[in-house]
Structure 1
Amino acid sequence: MEETNEISALFKLIDDPDSEVFGAVSTKLLDFGRTIIPNLEHLWETTPDERLQERIENIIHRLHYNDLSEDFRQWNLSGHHDMLVAALLVAKFQCPDLTTAASLVEIEKIRRNIWLELNAYLTPLEQVRIVTGILYSYYGLKGTEINYNEANEFFIHKVLESKRGNQLSDGIIYLILCELLDIPVKAINIPKQFVLAYFKPGYSLEGTTDYISKVEFYIDPSSGMVFTHKDIESYFKRISVPPVHSYFKPLSNKKVIQHLLEETARCFDNEKEFYKKEELMRLADLLD
């Protein structure tokens, strides 16, 4: 953006010690939108004052966050909640300049490899074994327990780069691929776990609360291992929770992304980055 007299005057006031003045200046700069970011970046590069640099970084972050909030609002209002698009938006929270082309290419490469192995005569278990074999053995995706000290394991572009994610991010990649391939695998709301379920072909949930009977089997997304109904019953006994039907209702894409935002927020539960936790929770609230 061309630096006008107004912008130059505002830049001179960024380091004003009066917090009210700085607040007013920030608001004015935010009104310019993301087009002013290059000017702010140039100012950051040409100032040796660390305190001033920190203030500039804060304004740039807020400009990116405002844009991201609008992107989430638009996604929320869209008719089809594309999980891949939303997972990449979550990644843009941490990496606002992220270009998504590499992630899209990786997902398409995996999808095509799976599609080449599928045919109409395969059983549900055979379908899932192909998805799992390509994703974990051929492609080499690794899964770990959720660790809130490893924020990168929540961001899909980082998971695709490193081929290492956690139960949630791996599960989202698994769900994206199944959705692209019309395989009826959905996330369900099992307590303290992110578990996928293969729903019987042609299943309908209209007028029923008996979701359990619609499930063929379950999948652990951190490894692709398949579980039976008995395995899940044993898990509920172990945690002393009754397996009510609502735990087996398939989660919508919106609910899965909301869960991703809430879990990612827990990575920033410290004094220095607490503002990031609050911002991610506000994004999650947008999807209510």
Structure 2
Amino acid sequence: MRETKEINALLHLIDDPDEEVFSTVSERIVSYGKGIIPNLENLWENTPDETTQERIELLIHSLHYRDLKTNLSDWGKLENPELLQGALLIDRYQYPEVSFNGITQELERMRRNIWLELNNYLTPLEQVNIINGILYNYYKLKGTEVAYTNPDEFFLHKVIESKKGNAISTGILYAALCQLLDINVLPVNIPRQFILGYFDPNYDVLHAGGNPAHKIQFFLDPMTGQVFTHKDVETYFKRISVPPIPTYYKPLTPKRTIQLLTEELSKCFGSQPYKQAELAQLSQLLGD
């Protein structure tokens, strides 16, 4: 952004020790939008004071965050928001410069490798076995239990790069690939777990009636690809002493899935309350 007299004055006030002055300056700088980020980056490079550098970093973060809120809100208002797009938007919370093109190209390579092995005569279980073989054997994808010590395990592009993620991120990757392949595998609302259900091909999430459990052929653990039967899931409900009501078998919508991803990701930032508050705001943007 071309540096005007006002911008120049604002940049020189970033190191003002008066918090009220800095707060006013911050609001004005953020109002310029992302176009002012190169000016801030140039200032950061030429500022030896660490405290001022931290202020500049927070301003740049605020500008990216403001942009992300707009994009996520727009995504949530779509009639049929894509799960993949929502997950990639959340990646931009921590990695605002991440390229969507590189990720989608890698996903397309994964999709193509799976598609080449599929045909119209395969049973659902045979289809899943092919997907599992490509993901877990060929690509060496490894799933881990959800923990809150490594935020990168929640970000889809990091999962694709490292071939390692938790149940939520690998589940989103698996479901997103199935969506690209027109295979009806969706996250399911089972308590305290993130698992996938293979739904009947004609199951319409938006206009479904009756008990959704009757439309699920089997379940999948996205960390390993292991298949679970209805009996396995019923045994799980007994173990946790929770009645298996129909609601628990409903597929999670893309919006609810990204809400869950955001809520769980926020638990990684216990030492940074402002990030927890921001992620809570992102989750609220998707609330019905």
TM-score bin, normalised by smaller chain: over 0.9
2:116 is paired with a residue whose SS is helix
How far does residue 59 in structure 1 lie from its aligned partner after superposition? 0.8
Output one character per residue of 1:99-122: Cα deviation in whole Å (capped at 9) or x when no partner.
122211110001001111111111
Please give the alpha-carbon distance, in whole angstroms, between the structure 1 residues aligned to 2:257 and 2:39: 37
The equivalences for 1:185-264 within 5 A come to 185-204=185-204, 206=207, 208-264=209-265
How far does residue 204 in structure 1 lie from its aligned partner after superposition? 4.6
Which residue of structure 1 lines up, in the alignment, with residue 13 of structure 2?
13
2:217 is paired with a residue whose SS is strand
Specify the code of the residue in structure 2 equivalent to 1:212: A
* Aligned partners of 1:209 and 1:246 also within 8 Å: no
Output one character per residue of 1:18-45: Cα deviation in whole Å (capped at 9) or x when no partner.
2111111111111111010010011111
Which residue of structure 2 lines up, in the alignment, with residue 282 of structure 1?
281
Q: CA RMSD in A?
A: 1.1
Output one character per residue of 1:138-166: Cα deviation in whole Å (capped at 9) or x when no partner.
11111010111011000011100000011
* Aligned partners of 1:197 and 1:219 also within 8 Å: yes
2:231 is paired with a residue whose SS is helix
1:78 is paired with a residue whose SS is coil
How far does residue 208 in structure 1 lie from its aligned partner after superposition? 2.7
Q: Percent same amino acid among aligned pairs?
A: 54
Please give the alpha-carbon distance, in whole angstroms, between the structure 1 residues aligned to 2:7 and 2:201: 60
2:211 is paired with a residue whose SS is coil
The equivalences for 1:97-176 within 5 A come to 97-176=97-176
Please give the alpha-carbon distance, in whole angstroms, between the structure 2 residues aligned to 1:49 and 1:139: 45
The equivalences for 1:52-67 within 5 A come to 52-67=52-67
Which residue of structure 1 lines up, in the alignment, with residue 26 of structure 2?
26
* Aligned partners of 2:86 and 2:254 also within 8 Å: no
Which residue of structure 1 lines up, in the alignment, with residue 96 of structure 2?
96
Runs of 4+ in structure 1 over 3 Å off: 204-207
Specify the code of the residue in structure 1 equivalent to 2:261: L
- The TM-score with structure 2 as length reference comes to 0.97
Please give the alpha-carbon distance, in whole angstroms, between the structure 1 residues aligned to 2:273 and 2:133: 39
Specify the code of the residue in structure 1 equivalent to 2:72: F
How far does residue 207 in structure 1 lie from its aligned partner after superposition? 6.1
Please give the alpha-carbon distance, in whole angstroms, between the structure 1 residues aligned to 2:157 and 2:64: 18
2:196 is paired with a residue whose SS is strand
Number of residues of Structure 1 aligned to a counterpart in Structure 2: 286
* Aligned partners of 1:14 and 1:22 also within 8 Å: yes
1:147 is paired with a residue whose SS is coil
Output one character per residue of 1:147-200: Cα deviation in whole Å (capped at 9) or x when no partner.
110110000111000000111100000000111111111111111100100112
Structure 1, gaps ≥5 residues long? none
* Aligned partners of 1:144 and 1:166 also within 8 Å: yes
2:48 is paired with a residue whose SS is coil
2:122 is paired with a residue whose SS is coil
The equivalences for 1:39-78 within 5 A come to 39-78=39-78
- The TM-score with structure 1 as length reference comes to 0.97
How far does residue 209 in structure 1 lie from its aligned partner after superposition? 3.4
